[in-house]
Amino acid sequence: MKVTEKDVTYVADLANLELSEQERTRMVRDLNSILGHVDSLNELDTTNVPPMAQVSDRFGLDDSRQGSARFAYASRDDIHEGLRKSLPHDVVLANAPDSDGTFFKVPKVIEK
């Protein structure tokens, strides 16, 4: 068993999940089953293989460019208000579970 109940509690904490007792037990089982399968990746020697975080820096219009240089067309001048205006305040707040009309309201952040 790679993943213990303690690991699940720790990871749930990082992920801002609580998980019920039942969910934790199930999670230990499922994560171990999946990670057991994932171990096959260790059959591959990848010492000299660069990691690939995304596709776009390798493929596109201009093959002579690599990485962020490929996205030169996506950049813009740093001008006030940017290329477009933000959504109006009331529209942004319309989906808020709780707001005072100006801000999103949440429970007290700093407790004594």
Chain positions contacting other proteins, by CB under 8 A? 3, 7-8, 10-12, 14-20, 23, 26-27, 30-31, 33-35, 37-44, 46, 49-56, 58-61, 71, 73-74, 83, 87, 91-92, 94-98, 104, 106-109, 111
The packing angle between helices 5-14 and 21-38, to 10°, is 100
Nearer to other proteins, 80 or 83 (CB): 83
Q: What is the closest distance, in whole angstroms, from the C-beta atom of residue 112 to other proteins in the complex? A: 12
CA 6 – CA 50 distance, rounded (Å): 33
Least distance in Å: CB of 20 to other proteins?
8
Residue 8 burial by Cβ neighbours in a 10 Å radius (0-12, 13-18, 19+): buried
Q: How far is the CB of 8 from other proteins (least distance, A)?
A: 7
Between residues 39 and 80, which has the closer beta carbon with respect to other proteins? Answer: 39
Nearer to other proteins, 20 or 80 (CB): 20
CB of 45 or CB of 80, closer to other proteins: 45
User: What does each C-alpha distance from 41 to 28, 32, 38, 49, 86 come to in angstroms?
Assistant: 21, 15, 6, 13, 44
The DSSP element (H or E) to which 7 belongs, if any, is helix 5-14
